[in-house]
Chains A and B, each alone.
Chain A
């Protein structure tokens, strides 16, 4: 029994360490800080699309906290919109391409962060 307990505990510990390490490699970047630095100017401090720049924008930025609207967009589409801009997914030119700014890891982390904001999945 003790042996079984030890094995289970060992396996759990190993799994926890594995999950921690893999999440670090994927999300070692601080997606929240990236969002705050680059995205809030249009999408707002709370992600609701009410950014400080929106007053003069002809098309309003997407509300990232809207579970219904956000769940209709796949992770791949979100990633493409960030990297290549709104036009690449038939949306507004006001969403610029950030491909020269973010690397692959940062793009993945941002997509995951958007899912946190909307509390939804694709």
Chain B
């Protein structure tokens, strides 16, 4: 009996103490808490993790990266965790094009490549944790129409015609590398990056998600919303172009 007490005091209790220490109270509430710590540490300086969206132009312009407080209804988890490991620029003129362009006498304005800042990269483990945590951010869920797309197949010809001519999306968005406007995000990688229901809902009313965004509300009809969303989802990136990194 004395031996058992001795063993308990000298071996079992310290061992138990060590286990408690290594499991740690910081991780006791689950991996999302750990993920929040990571996001607060690495991402919060440039991204809004809590919302709401900017209500004034000054607030809008003070944000250095996309709002992430509704990341869970916007992004695809697999893409997030891969992109965070090797970030590649999505907007050719950066997150705020107006801060990254320069005048060229007699010519069109140009992207000031020197002004573009790269996005930090995370380790595979950190990226996985960040992506899992971001996917739990479900603000604006009520703005996203569930199963928004009909069963009618995408029409590539009508889709491109609509994107380019009828709705004028090409003015600001690249439909393939180096073809299209540069102030908005490229759309040829949209199927990898974003959830279809979000694309549809954002096209329908960008200002519902971000009142000050420089993506205008094109007042698209239901037919155009279906055509455009499905068309963009059929686009794929040309593997030749994989240079550059950042937002």
Interface size grouping (class) on chain A: 20 to 34
Give the interface of B toward A (CB within 8 A).
Answer: 57, 60-61, 93, 97-98, 101-103, 107-111, 164-168, 170-172, 179-183, 205-207, 211-214, 216-219
Contact B181 A56 (CB under 8 A): yes
**Tally of contacts, chain A with chain B, CB under 8 A:** 92
Indicate if the CB atoms of B217 and A52 lie closer than 8 Å.
no
Interface residues of A in 23-45 (CB under 8 A from B): 29-30, 33-34, 36-38, 40-42, 44-45
Residues of B within 8 A of A29 (CB): 57
Q: Is the CB of B167 within 8 A of A93?
A: yes
Question: Are B183 and A41 interface neighbours, CB within 8 A?
Answer: yes
A30 to B216, CA, bound (A): 19
Q: Quick check: is A7 within 8 A (CB to CB) of the other chain?
A: no
- Asked if A10 is an interface residue, CB under 8 A from chain B, the answer is no
In the complex with contacts A54-B108, A96-B216, A97-B217, A37-B61 CB distance below 8 A: yes
Contact assessment for A52 and B183 in the assembled complex, using a CB-CB cutoff below 8 Å: yes
Question: From A51, which residue of chain B is reached at the shortest CB distance?
Answer: B109
Q: Which residue of A is nearest B212, CB measured?
A: A101
Indicate with 1 or 0, residue by residue over A70-94, a CB within 8 angstroms of chain B CB atoms.
0000000000000001000000111
Q: Which residue of chain A has the shortest Cβ distance to B175 in the bound complex? A: A56
Task: State whether B214 touches A53 (Cβ < 8 A).
Answer: no
16 contacts between A and B (CB under 8 A): A29-B57, A30-B57, A33-B57, A37-B57, A45-B101, A45-B102, A52-B101, A52-B108, A52-B183, A53-B171, A56-B170, A56-B181, A85-B218, A93-B165, A100-B216, A101-B216
Most chain A Cβ neighbours within 10 Å, of B108, B164, B205, B212? B108
Whole-angstrom distance from the CB of A103 to the nearest CB of chain B? 11
List, in ascending order, chain B residues with CB within 8 A of A93's CB. 165-168
Asked if A50 lies at the interface with its beta carbon under 8 angstroms from chain B, I say yes
Asked if A50 and B216 sit within 8 Å, CB to CB, the answer is: no
Q: Report the minimal beta-carbon distance from A51 to chain B, rounded to whole angstroms.
A: 6
Per the 8 Å Cβ criterion, residues 1-39 of A in contact with B are 29-30, 33-34, 36-38
How distant is the Cα of A93 from the Cα of B205 in the complex, in angstroms? 18
Asked if A99 CB lies within 8 Å of chain B CBs, one says yes
A44 and B57 form a contact (CB under 8 A): no
Task: Give the nearest-CB partner of B219 in chain A.
Answer: A97
Q: Are A52 and B166 in contact (CB under 8 A)?
A: no
Which B residues touch A57, using CB under 8 A?
Answer: 170-171, 181
Tell me which residues across on chain A come within 8 A of B102, comparing CB atoms.
45
- A100-B205, A101-B207 known; A52+B109 contact, CB < 8 A: yes
| A92 vs B166: C-alpha distance when bound (angstroms) | 10
| Residues on the A chain within 8 Å of B205, using CB | 100
Are the CB atoms of A52 and B111 closer together than 8 Å? yes
